[in-house]
Structure 1
Amino acid sequence: MAHSEPRSATANDSSGEVALANHWLPNFCSLPILFALMVIGELVALIVVLASSDVGSPGWQRLGTATVFVQWLAVVWTVCLCKARPLLVRMRPWMSEFAAFALMVGTTAIASWLAYTIDNSLSLGLIGILSGQERFILRNSVICALVATAVLRYFYVQEQWRDRVRAEARARYEALQARIRPHFLFNSMNTIASLIRIRPAQAETAVEDLADLFRASLGSVDTPRTLGEELDLARGYLRIEELRLGERLQVVWDVASLPRDLPLPPLLLQPLVENAVYHGIQPLTDGGTVTVTGRHSGGMVEIRIANPCPAPGKRSPRGNGIAVANIRSRIAYHFDDRGALEIHQGHDTFDCVLRLPDDGTAPGGIEHAHTHRR
């Protein structure tokens, strides 16, 4: 598993944020981590009270006291680890593990001493007269050491699994980048060369579209993209193909209601429209129409790419499986089960339906309404 290395004094804020994001320690400043520690603490309190009960069931007063103590302790752990994390991630891995472990055990010992002191000073009797101070602090520290070992190990293993998922997603993205076919580049350059003298404006536009396409293809998987940029990239690709296929390729757009600033992983749409052209339009003698429609409702964005396709006996044996499987994998990585890519294949039609969540932060419908046919 990759660990963050110490940063120099000249490192900028963004690189520091990346280091924090990639470290095996979770973000203890988040509510889910606090909730997880509170649940773990409550389970430990219940087990301890059950184990020490003489009658086989916990006393409600003892369970209530233990609950208050462990929940307070969970909050103290979370706050201390949250504040210490920027320092922990700059240590060597084994040092950060030991420091986090020592911090949890140390805060438990201090909290136990404080709780015992308050209980003894106010004569509350919540801890019990048979528990000496040293015994109370030692017992809680030992329990904390066991819990801290299990919790930190869980975070470490979980981050290893996430690293494997990230590596797989990156490999799939790089494979998708390599899918831009060499003959597409050659055909595009030949088309542009033929247009330079007779239609220089179209040739210039085609060069710009080709540059945008390869810039996106050669970009990093971590480069942020938006739905608007993905739509523009797909438009540029189809414009190049329209120059090559002429009247055989018609395109209809109806995406006015989509939120252009919705964050997206790169290269989600272009491979789908590429499949529509290569496996749908190009094999047909008379060509056909690629239709791209979109709607935005109920916190979801739906984009449908439809195209005609050859009869079942005349279809390419390789089909559309590579791009579809690749995109599905990356959707699952970025959106879990909130996103999906559905395929509907009929006798002479092929539809791809891309469904993605919109968290509500991006205003929708900022693109000018248009439906046109090229």
Structure 2
Amino acid sequence: MPTSLRAQESSRGTDLAHHWLPNFCSWPVLVALIVIGELTALVVVLSASDVNVPRWQQLGVASLFVQWLAVVWTVCLCKARPLLLRLQPWMGEFAAFGVMVSTTALASWLVFAVDEGLGLGLVDRAADSIRFVVRNSVICALVAAAVLRYFYVQEQWRARIRAEERARFEALQARIRPHFLFNSMNMIASLIRARPREAETAVEDLSDLFRAALGRENAQGTLGEELDLARGYLRIEELRLGQRLRVQWQVDGLPRDLELPSLLLQPLVENAVYHGIQPLTEGGCVSLVGQCSTDTLEILVHNPCPPATAPRHGNGNGMALANIRGRLALHYGERARLEVAQGDGWFECRLRIPLAQQPAPHR
């Protein structure tokens, strides 16, 4: 097995091993703990009320205590998470379990002492401090075991989904690059005898394109790099198609340093040429128009195309669009989208990407 493949499998295995504990510094986890705590308080009050109607004061006190504990758990595990992830998963689970039970015991003792000192009467006077602390600790132990197990299973599932999406992304990306390479090499081969100087220039452009596209170790680039890749590709196609291909750029003022997944624009302009311009005897114009609103970058790729009833060149167009939609979903979730529209003799793709650099939500 090649070293690069072993490294990729090792990194994926490490990624799965370290996704056993959620990010307690996030609102979704805090809300989940609050809901679980409130359900626990309701069950405790109902079970202690026998057949009578539960006392709402008792439920209110229990809810306040449990919600306070949920916040304390969240803060403690949020701060301790970097240390817990350094341990083996089973050791980290026991450590997190110990943190939750110990904070519950300490909080219970503190509440009992404050209630007794101030004479508030919120805690049942029939129970001493040891019984109160032990009872709450046992309830916490049962709830904490279930909660940590739930989070463990959920985080493992999310990590596997992310690993599968990365593998799918790499496979789809690998299918696009040879497709472009084969088309370009065929074009260069056709130029060698008739126009050797232009063929040499095309080889240099192709070298620059693949150095930029294949030289990265990650799947991230910038908008400026994406525009340069699209320009390089279109220069090569202009050599092949001549006057049949015209290009119109309206991308001034766009943030070139905006981070993007790599190879978003090049497949769109390749489809515009291959499925739109090439089948037309008279050719046509590919236009790229970009604009920015308050929080969204929008790039429109427009091209003429044959009638809908005309024969099509394979299914590469659908593959590329599905590829780009998969990349957008992987990196941005529902905050980015690719919209496609087609009319009588024209086709356009509208790419919408958020300007705010936020992580994609886990699915």
Judge same fold: TM > 0.5, yes or no: yes
d(CA) in 2 for partners of 1:148 and 1:185?
Answer: 59
Change beyond 3 A, Cα 1:343–1:156: same
How big is the shift at 1:257? 4.6
Whether 1:355 aligns to 2:339 is no
Q: Alignment RMSD, CA only?
A: 3.0
How big is the shift at 1:20? 11
Tell me the equivalent position of 1:341: 338
How big is the shift at 1:193? 5.9
d(CA) in 1 for partners of 2:17 and 2:257?
Answer: 23
How big is the shift at 1:99? 1.5
d(CA) in 1 for partners of 2:109 and 2:337?
Answer: 53
Tell me the equivalent position of 2:31: 35
d(CA) in 1 for partners of 2:157 and 2:35?
Answer: 23
Question: Secondary structure of the equivalent of 2:246?
Answer: strand
Tell me the equivalent position of 2:183: 184
Whether 1:277 aligns to 2:273 is yes
Counterpart amino acid of residue 62 in structure 1: Q
Tell me the equivalent position of 1:286: 282
Counterpart amino acid of residue 149 in structure 1: A
d(CA) in 1 for partners of 2:250 and 2:126?
Answer: 76
Question: Secondary structure of the equivalent of 1:284?
Answer: coil
User: Quick one: higher RCO (CA 8 Å, sep 6+), 1 or 2?
Assistant: 1
Equivalenced residue count is 342
Question: Secondary structure of the equivalent of 1:259?
Answer: coil
Tell me the equivalent position of 1:79: 75
Counterpart amino acid of residue 237 in structure 1: Y
How big is the shift at 1:101? 1.4
Question: Secondary structure of the equivalent of 2:306?
Answer: coil
Counterpart amino acid of residue 169 in structure 1: E
**Match of residue 264, structure 1, among 243, 254, 260:** 260
Change beyond 3 A, Cα 1:147–1:227: farther
d(CA) in 1 for partners of 2:145 and 2:194?
Answer: 68
Aligned pairs for 1:156-195 (under 5 A) are: 156-178=152-174, 179-180=176-177, 181=179, 182-187=181-186, 189-190=188-189
How big is the shift at 1:71? 2.3
Aligned pairs for 1:55-204 (under 5 A) are: 56-178=52-174, 179-180=176-177, 181=179, 182-187=181-186, 189-190=188-189, 198=197, 203=201
Check the 8 A contact 2:16/2:160 in 1, yes or no.
no
Whether 1:245 aligns to 2:237 is no
Q: Deviations over 1:34-83 (max 9, x none)?
A: 33323332332233223323565443332332233222212221222122
Check the 8 A contact 1:101/1:148 in 2, yes or no.
yes
Tell me the equivalent position of 1:255: 251
d(CA) in 2 for partners of 1:195 and 1:52?
Answer: 93
Counterpart amino acid of residue 104 in structure 1: M
How big is the shift at 1:192? 8.2
How big is the shift at 1:304? 1.3
Check the 8 A contact 2:244/2:282 in 1, yes or no.
yes
Change beyond 3 A, Cα 1:226–1:58: farther
Check the 8 A contact 1:295/1:303 in 2, yes or no.
yes
Tell me the equivalent position of 2:3: none
Whether 1:318 aligns to 2:312 is no
Q: Deviations over 1:128-187 (max 9, x none)?
A: 112232322222122212222222222222222222322232123222322222423423
Identity %: 59
d(CA) in 1 for partners of 2:330 and 2:52?
Answer: 46
Check the 8 A contact 2:222/2:258 in 1, yes or no.
yes
Gaps of at least 5 residues in structure 2 are 1-10, 359-363
Q: Deviations over 1:309-367 (max 9, x none)?
A: 22322222425111111211221222222221122123322211112222289xxxxxx
Change beyond 3 A, Cα 1:154–1:263: farther
Check the 8 A contact 1:227/1:259 in 2, yes or no.
yes
How big is the shift at 1:94? 1.5
Q: Deviations over 1:287-308 (max 9, x none)?
A: 2111111222252222111112
d(CA) in 2 for partners of 1:292 and 1:37?
Answer: 48
d(CA) in 2 for partners of 1:107 and 1:188?
Answer: 70
Counterpart amino acid of residue 333 in structure 2: D
Tell me the equivalent position of 1:372: none
Change beyond 3 A, Cα 1:197–1:328: closer
Gaps of at least 5 residues in structure 1 are 1-14, 362-374
Counterpart amino acid of residue 342 in structure 2: Q
Q: Deviations over 1:4-42 (max 9, x none)?
A: xxxxxxxxxxx9xx9799533122223443333233323
Question: Secondary structure of the equivalent of 2:269?
Answer: helix
Counterpart amino acid of residue 208 in structure 2: A
Whether 1:52 aligns to 2:48 is yes
d(CA) in 1 for partners of 2:135 and 2:69?
Answer: 15
Tell me the equivalent position of 1:6: none
